[in-house]
């Protein structure tokens, strides 16, 4: 209904893609958790009504000592430290948040205590598939706008588009977009049927981030000086799409996950 704004509290200053390394603690005292720590890169953090917080609720193994907790953001001890000034994604507020003896009822735990890491990893499958679906449409639009612009913009007495290097490159990029779309559709279909698609979702996220960078850079080049202004969509996409290879698991983490499923990682 849009009555409440939510945010996700997972990443920290020293723990981004390595979720198991978070240090925020929720210590049980009676029928409450007392929470201390902080979160970084919190989307909607400056305006959220509540946070889905991942915190350590015991001193056990790092993959089994975490819980997801519904934390109202108006509680005493919740401090919005700052709104982060980002390279891109300017329409989205991103905050650093601190917790100083924040008291939350134990009933606010989501699911089972100690299962938070597992829940979060499962959620990442959906988030990574969504990230690819979200960026595909924009890549289609960028290619089409670039075709339209280069068709009417002339250089050396002919449209920029008519130069073979340009229309061949756009054909390559559109082919890559369609291949990514097929991977996304396959992974989503398997996920809907209840399969573990961690490997395919990681592959799609990896390819999506890299293709977004490649496509935005190539298309921006064909806009010439206009591409270096804030007046056109391609320049915004050039800024915003860079997050795809960082947020929700960096490219290198995706590669590690894929290697794990391929059984090619060095044995410990």
Active site residue 127: yes
**How far apart (Å, rounded) are the C-alpha atoms in residues 136 and 244?**
12
Which one is catalytic: 32, 127, 145, 214? 127
DSSP conformation letters of 46-113? TT-SEEEEEEE-SSS-TTTSEEEEEEETTSTTEEEEEE---SS-TTS-EEEEEEEEEEEEGGGEESST
| Torsion sign, CA atoms 234, 236, 239, 244 | negative
Structure tokens at 218: 């190539």
| Per-residue DSSP letter, 244 | G
3-class DSSP state of 155: strand
HSE-CB at 192 with a 13 A cutoff on CA atoms is 6
**How far apart (Å, rounded) are the C-alpha atoms in residues 127 and 145?**
28
**For residue 245, how many other CB atoms are within 10 A of its CB?**
18
Q: Are 170 and 143 in contact (CB under 8 A)?
A: yes
Directed axis angle between helix 198-222 and helix 251-262, to 10°? 140
Q: Which residues are annotated as catalytic?
A: 127
């Amino acid at each position: 209904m849009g009555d409440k704004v939510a945010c996700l509290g997972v990443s920290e200053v020293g723990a981004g893609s390595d979720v198991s390394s978070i240090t925020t603690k929720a210590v049980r005292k009676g029928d409450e958790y007392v929470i201390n720590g902080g979160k970084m890169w919190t989307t909607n953090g400056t305006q959220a009504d509540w946070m889905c917080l991942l915190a350590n609720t015991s001193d056990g193994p790092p993959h089994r000592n975490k819980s997801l907790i519904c934390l109202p953001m108006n509680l005493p001890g919740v401090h919005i430290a700052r709104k982060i000034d980002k390279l891109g994604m300017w329409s989205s507020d991103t905050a650093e948040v601190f917790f100083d003896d924040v008291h939350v009822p134990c009933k606010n735990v989501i699911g089972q205590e100690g299962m938070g890491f597992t829940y979060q990893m499962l959620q990442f499958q959906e988030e990574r598939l969504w990230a690819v679906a979200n960026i595909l449409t924009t890549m289609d639009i960028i290619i089409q706008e670039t075709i339209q612009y280069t068709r009417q913009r002339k250089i050396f007495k002919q449209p920029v588009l008519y130069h073979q290097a340009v229309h061949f490159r756009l054909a390559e990029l559109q082919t890559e977009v369609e291949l990514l779309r097929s991977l996304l559709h396959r992974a989503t279909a398997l996920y809907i049927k209840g399969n573990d698609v961690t490997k395919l979702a990681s592959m799609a996220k990896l390819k999506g981030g890299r293709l977004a960078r490649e496509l935005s850079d190539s298309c921006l080049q064909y806009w010439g000086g206009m591409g270096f202004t804030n007046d056109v969509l391609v320049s915004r996409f050039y800024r915003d799409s860079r997050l795809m290879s960082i947020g929700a698991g960096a490219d290198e983490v995706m590669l590690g996950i894929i290697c794990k499923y391929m059984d090619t990682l060095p044995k410990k």
